[in-house]
Amino acid sequence: MFYTIWTFYVLYRLFELAISRRNEGTHNYEEVGKWQRPLMMVLHISWFLFLVVEYEMKYHETSYVFVPNLENLFIVILLFFAAFLRYESMSRLGNLWSTKVFIIPEQFVVKEGAYKITNNPNYLGVVIEIFCLPYLFELNTVAIIFSILNILFLSLRIKLEREVLKIRSL
């Protein structure tokens, strides 16, 4: 079960990268914060690798048995909610959605759907996934360490995006 779900998330991320690359080719907006993208890639690739490492260390002689209790049901619901937030973000932004940060014209700022509730529904979805997926399999070390690393990274990323919005509104 773990490797099936893990493979799904890896393929999902690769699919997102393909969408990002396709979308980047539809405009010629200025990219900012180029130094952040390699950090994000290292963070996400490491997360996937350490999921496997902790899983193998914890279950090398046995296999994980999913227990259908309320806690696990709640975690699964959160993972579906995270997927919804990420899909909603990609849908609302359309060809502006990317893993890169661009300076875009103000008329393209989205304030509908999940963007009415939070400025960063995609990031909220990622925060939920990075904690909940390992937690579902009792991989608590990965859940905690990578949640902290992700929040630190996102604090830099959101700061950059806010600076871009300020520059654009001048």
Query: CATH number of the domain that 86 lies in?
Result: 1.20.120.1630
Per residue of the chain (170 residues), give pLDDT as tens: 899 999 999 999 999 999 999 998 888 888 898 999 999 999 999 999 999 999 999 998 887 787 889 999 999 999 999 999 999 999 999 888 999 888 887 667 788 888 888 889 999 999 999 999 999 999 999 999 999 999 999 999 999 988 887 766 55
**Beta strand ranges found along the chain (DSSP E):** 30-32, 101-103
* Residue 27 belongs to domain spanning: 2-169
Q: What is the pLDDT of residues 35-46, one digit of tens each?
A: 999 999 999 999
Closest CA to 129 of 14, 19, 46, 9: 9
Written as one letter, the residue type at 161 is E
Q: Is 53 left (phi over 0), alpha (psi -120 to 50) or beta?
A: alpha
Average pLDDT of the residues of the chain: 91
Count of structural domains, the chain: 1
